[in-house]
Structure 1
Amino acid sequence: PANRRGRGKFEKSVRVEEIDGVKLVKNLAVKMEEVFRKKAEATRRLVEAAEEAHHQHEENPDLQYEYFNAVLINEVDEQGNNVELGGEFLLEPNDHFNNLSVNLSLSVVQVPTNMYNKDPDIVNGVYWSEALNKVFVDNFERDPTLIWQYFGSAKGFFRQYPGECCLSVCWPISLSFRHFREHLDKLFAKGIGLLGEALAEAFTILSDFNQTGRGSVCSQAIMLVTDGATAMYDDVFERYNWPERKISTLADVQENVMRYLHVMSRPKVIDHEHDTVWTEAYVDSAVSTTLMTTVAMPVFSTKNETKNQGILLGVVGTDIPLQELMKLIPKHMLGIHGYAFAITNNGYILTHPELRPLVEEGFYYIPITTFFQFMSWLHLMLTLFFGCVSSVGVALSRGHGKYFFRGNVSVEAGLRDLEQPDVALADEWTYCNTEEQHEHRHLTQIQAIKLFMTGRRPHLKCDRELIQEVLFDAVVTAPLEAYWTGLALNKSENSDKGVEIAFLGTRTGLSRTNLFVPLHCVCVLRDFLTAEDKEGVFNADHFPLWYKRAAEQVPGTFVYSIPFSTALENKSVVLASTAIQLLDDRKSPIVAAVGIQMKLEFFQRKFWTACRQCTALDGKCSISCDNEDINCYLIDNNGFILVTEEQSQVLCTSLFVFTCLHLWTR
């Protein structure tokens, strides 16, 4: 009612426009390309610094050098003195690095347990790679969105920035080993692996390849990973690869097996080819459950005496959280069911709304069949980015999803209403980029918007069009605050406090909430409509679930459901939501959704009261739930029972029905 009264006031300043999908995807590709370019440039600076440092270094087998070993830092002996290769290493918690304790000035070195910490090759490598510390820090100052940077040496050590205690990484690894050991007894061997035939076939394929000249001219290798072989297969190696090579101990792996790296990398270093490699999406479970990708480049020896030998010194890389890419997506333009996705040059899906960590199984992927099911009914537009065959695309739903509207209000009025206590913006949407500059990191999105729109921080990178729409939504929805307050005051005189929360969300990520009861009296979990409530708030890749459900129905009708999380906790609440359409037209965009949370007992009582109000002329119900031979149920769109005469069935029972009766409430 509050919005209807002020509707005519804003209609003249609103216009509906059709989304230009091609323009949208091209703009998104440009933004993603800029992110990839910056990360690749940071990696290339590490490559140049590493190669120059190695070029200037002369190998010294007697070199003595103390470095910070990640396993030993801040360790003390029985006398309280720092252990060798440990030393005092300042660590401070940093929210940018998942609240881990890190050192932003120095890196640390990890050495495998089967290698000697003071091996001459290790000490020399650690010594010349110390030059990377300056570049690590410089990269982070240039681009504060960077996270982990590292150098993995072909000699076996690993240098990581910022420096941290190895326990934060080693502890989850030890847990993984313990988990593996606990389930080892459940593994049973069956079948026979015919390694001899496999090796013979592999050598035959390589021989045929070399004789016919088919395929690309590249390095070749046969690699076998096994827990042990039942024979030596001397006859196979004598026939195809004489003299045979033999590994007798773990230490021989570095000396013999890893030798192929130098051979296979030789063409690259001779031609000075520093290929940029992007990984598929993965999770570094030792740090967090955040999906990320990594950009990596090889580091080669450029010394004149070894240049033609093609010596691979190692690999440098940096991680990029996929959340950083998701923040570039203009979700307000894609709409409720629209989304964006990216595919790597190797065909891996890099970003997609269904690409989520499945903690129970430990896998992080979207089945490709599911992906192509989306492609069958959504319109995709692809383009290329970052100078390779990688692609980015958007999917727009038909009908109202292809349209959006623009409104216009004064900046002063918009900022005034935006700062009201009942207003919040989507945490994972980027209205202003506060990550690029260190001095902006402490700002909230609303604070950044105010500084940008008032001209006090003109260097802030903000989406002016999105902000203008947010200000419009803030002004248009402002009367709700007074309306809800009036309802709360009237409700205080009534002891039946069935409705607990009212909430509204707009297509720009703006939310308004109002509590009709004290917070400690709310039945639902405390994280409802907060960042912890992933399904109930605006995220980088989707609108709230209650918003999407309402938008799927005819505007003006209400959708009732029991929140899944509350069902698990046996919290007796019901959510009711409805979509708000700008115009009475099927092509009119959905501009907002509004809803309430009420006690289940309150909702059931209202339902039974309505059921007994028959509309027949004689006032008699042809079918009555009071009939002992009839069982009445109210089922939501997920098949869960909302109302039944047997209350124990609610919240713990779902019905699978072939014919659904939809209850629409106007």
Structure 2
Amino acid sequence: MSSVCVGEFPTEHMIKEWVEQLQKDLISLTDTASGMDSLIQSYHNHRDRFKVESNDPTQLVATAAGNIEKLLATRSRALKKLAAEAEKYQMEHQWRDDYTEDEVIYYNSKDGINQTDKRFVPDDFQDDPDFKRKVSYNTTAVHIPTDIYEGYVMQRGPRASTDTSLSLALEDVFRRNKEEDPSLLWQVFGSATGLARFFPASPWMDSSKTQQKIDLYDVRRRPWSGSVSGLTLKLIRTSVSEMLETLSDDDYVNVVSFNEKAVQAACFRNLVQANVRNKKVLKKAVANISAKGITNYRGGFELAFKQLALVRIFTFSVGQHNYDKGPIQSMACDNRGYYYEIPSIGAIRINTQEYLDVLGRPMVKADRKAKQVQWTNVYLDALELGLVITGTLPVFNKTNTKADKERGGMK
């Protein structure tokens, strides 16, 4: 046996009172939070100091646009100085294969601010209100991706050592740019080896000093048959997703999958702009691809070549196989592209971005036409500066000798 206590159902009068009380509470809360009463009182107390002026909206917009244009022009000049100095140093640099550890002195930003006997750490870090962290204006800092061996980037091979000395040679340009434009924030030189040198120097850590936080920053990204089941299919999905992340709004892309017949992986019938939304759609489609049926290469390549008739073809051998790789190598070479191998998970990040070197080669001859400052969309700064936009400019290797070109350099 049970009983239910039923309260009085609200009358129209009661609801009206509740609404009126709620209205009063909201108005009181808004006035308190906005400081409206204080603002009105302040106006009345100093009314004789204020006057009403009419503004021309068109003129206001024109003035704001002019100020932004001047700001971007100033930043562009700073970028061009950096690029010109880097290319000049690259052409005048004397290649050496015998760099010693003592000759390569730099501040690794991952070392923090604690002094050690074995590593160089600046001793003049100070809190800076513009950067909201400790910085040193007397030197630069170096960052090397977590998945790249530091010894290789800094000491192994002429190209890596040249990147180190080249970036060091830009310190004076960094300082002059900062003196000419005090509002300038981070200045960064990025190398094809993954090395990044930035000014002013600052320890590479988050303000909360989170323990065991994995550093996934890579300056080159700021920014794959037999059966393809199991690990190989996972490699393909990951490789395609990583490659999509190297594309920007200026690129166009599509993904095709095939077994007995070839189909677009997503809903796009043609190449689409590689913006955030489209890349997200493509990556979701790639994640849903499954291995089934018989592989019909002819259909897959016919569809791909139909969409890519006027562009370069890059081929990737994914996983470890014993078949003849000659045909897919020839396919890439015959179509002005390049062939890469992705044998394991560890090779994905490096090999999926190597195609950028090939695409950059014709840009050297284009010179000024190819050197246009590109401005990014708003994004979150890796060193916790907040939302920023960044201007970028390519640095080309203009050395003319065959030996220099074979040794490599910046593209």
Q: Same fold per TM (> 0.5)?
A: yes
Alignment of 1:155-304 (within 5 A): 155-168=193-206, 174-175=212-213, 191-193=288-290, 203-209=301-307, 219=312, 221=314, 238=327, 245-248=340-343, 257-272=352-367, 273-284=370-381, 286-288=383-385, 290-304=386-400
Residues 261, 237 of structure 1: alpha-carbon distance in 2 compared, 3 angstrom cutoff: same
Matched-pair contact (CA < 8 Å) for 1:262–1:312: no
Matched-pair contact (CA < 8 Å) for 2:315–2:328: no
Amino acid in structure 1 at the alignment position of 2:142? V
2:91 aligned residue: 55
Q: How many Å apart are 1:103 and its aligned residue? A: 1.0
Question: Separation in 1 of the partners of 2:306 and 2:78?
Answer: 43
- Residue 117 of structure 2 corresponds to residue 82 of structure 1: yes
Which whole-Å deviations, capped at 9, do the CAs of 1:12-42 have from their partners, x for residues lacking one?
Answer: x95653x433222222111110111111111
**Secondary structure, counterpart of 2:197 in structure 1:** strand
Higher strand share: 1
**Secondary structure, counterpart of 2:63 in structure 1:** helix
Alignment of 1:489-638 (within 5 A): none
Residues 165, 199 of structure 1: alpha-carbon distance in 2 compared, 3 angstrom cutoff: farther
1:111 aligned residue: 144
Higher helix share: 2
Amino acid in structure 2 at the alignment position of 1:274? K
Question: Separation in 1 of the partners of 2:120 and 2:46?
Answer: 68
Question: Separation in 1 of the partners of 2:56 and 2:352?
Answer: 55
**Secondary structure, counterpart of 1:40 in structure 2:** helix
Q: Specify which of 104, 120, 127 is matched with residue 93 of structure 1.
A: 127
Q: How many Å apart are 1:54 and its aligned residue? A: 1.4
Q: How many Å apart are 1:159 and its aligned residue? A: 0.7
Q: How many Å apart are 1:205 and its aligned residue? A: 4.4
Question: Separation in 1 of the partners of 2:323 and 2:213?
Answer: 40
Amino acid in structure 1 at the alignment position of 2:136? N
**Secondary structure, counterpart of 1:144 in structure 2:** coil
Question: Separation in 1 of the partners of 2:361 and 2:407?
Answer: 4
TM-score (normalizing by structure 1): 0.36
Q: Specify which of 16, 30, 40 is matched with residue 66 of structure 2.
A: 30
- Residue 223 of structure 2 corresponds to residue 125 of structure 1: no
- Residue 109 of structure 2 corresponds to residue 70 of structure 1: yes
Q: How many Å apart are 1:63 and its aligned residue? A: 1.5
Question: Could you tell me the percent identity over the aligned residues?
Answer: 20
Question: Separation in 1 of the partners of 2:355 and 2:139?
Answer: 33
Question: Separation in 2 of the partners of 1:286 and 1:62?
Answer: 35
Question: Separation in 2 of the partners of 1:253 and 1:311?
Answer: 21
Question: Separation in 1 of the partners of 2:169 and 2:295?
Answer: 49
Q: RMSD of the alignment, in Å?
A: 4.4
Amino acid in structure 2 at the alignment position of 1:137? R
Q: Which has the higher contact order (CA 8 A, sep 6+)?
A: 2
Question: Separation in 2 of the partners of 1:223 and 1:197?
Answer: 17
2:183 aligned residue: 145
Q: How many Å apart are 1:155 and its aligned residue? A: 1.6
Amino acid in structure 2 at the alignment position of 1:295? G
Q: How many Å apart are 1:300 and its aligned residue? A: 0.5
Question: Separation in 1 of the partners of 2:88 and 2:406?
Answer: 17
Matched-pair contact (CA < 8 Å) for 1:47–1:298: yes
Which whole-Å deviations, capped at 9, do the CAs of 1:55-112 have from their partners, x for residues lacking one?
Answer: 1112211122232222346656xxxx511x43554322212211x1111011011223
Residues 32, 108 of structure 1: alpha-carbon distance in 2 compared, 3 angstrom cutoff: same
Amino acid in structure 1 at the alignment position of 2:117? N
Residues 278, 88 of structure 1: alpha-carbon distance in 2 compared, 3 angstrom cutoff: closer
Question: Separation in 1 of the partners of 2:170 and 2:104?
Answer: 16
Question: Separation in 1 of the partners of 2:189 and 2:208?
Answer: 18
Question: Separation in 2 of the partners of 1:75 and 1:276?
Answer: 37
Question: Separation in 2 of the partners of 1:198 and 1:103?
Answer: 59
Question: Separation in 2 of the partners of 1:222 and 1:52?
Answer: 34
Which whole-Å deviations, capped at 9, do the CAs of 1:410-441 have from their partners, x for residues lacking one?
Answer: xxxxxxxxxxxxxxxxxxxxxxxxxxxxxxxx
Question: Separation in 2 of the partners of 1:119 and 1:236?
Answer: 30
Matched-pair contact (CA < 8 Å) for 2:206–2:383: yes
Question: Separation in 2 of the partners of 1:190 and 1:44?
Answer: 41
Matched-pair contact (CA < 8 Å) for 1:301–1:310: no
Residues 206, 149 of structure 1: alpha-carbon distance in 2 compared, 3 angstrom cutoff: same
Question: Separation in 2 of the partners of 1:310 and 1:264?
Answer: 18
1:632 aligned residue: none
Tell me how many residue pairs correspond in the alignment: 284
Q: Specify which of 57, 70, 73 is matched with residue 21 of structure 1.
A: 57
Q: How many Å apart are 1:130 and its aligned residue? A: 1.0
Residues 232, 286 of structure 1: alpha-carbon distance in 2 compared, 3 angstrom cutoff: farther
Question: Separation in 1 of the partners of 2:303 and 2:407?
Answer: 27
Residues 75, 267 of structure 1: alpha-carbon distance in 2 compared, 3 angstrom cutoff: same
Residues 133, 203 of structure 1: alpha-carbon distance in 2 compared, 3 angstrom cutoff: farther
Question: Separation in 2 of the partners of 1:256 and 1:5?
Answer: 69
**Secondary structure, counterpart of 1:163 in structure 2:** coil
Q: How many Å apart are 1:138 and its aligned residue? A: 0.7
Matched-pair contact (CA < 8 Å) for 2:315–2:340: no
Alignment of 1:335-354 (within 5 A): none
1:646 aligned residue: none
Question: Separation in 1 of the partners of 2:168 and 2:180?
Answer: 20
Matched-pair contact (CA < 8 Å) for 2:82–2:173: yes
Question: Separation in 1 of the partners of 2:407 and 2:312?
Answer: 13
Question: Separation in 2 of the partners of 1:14 and 1:286?
Answer: 44
**Secondary structure, counterpart of 1:246 in structure 2:** strand
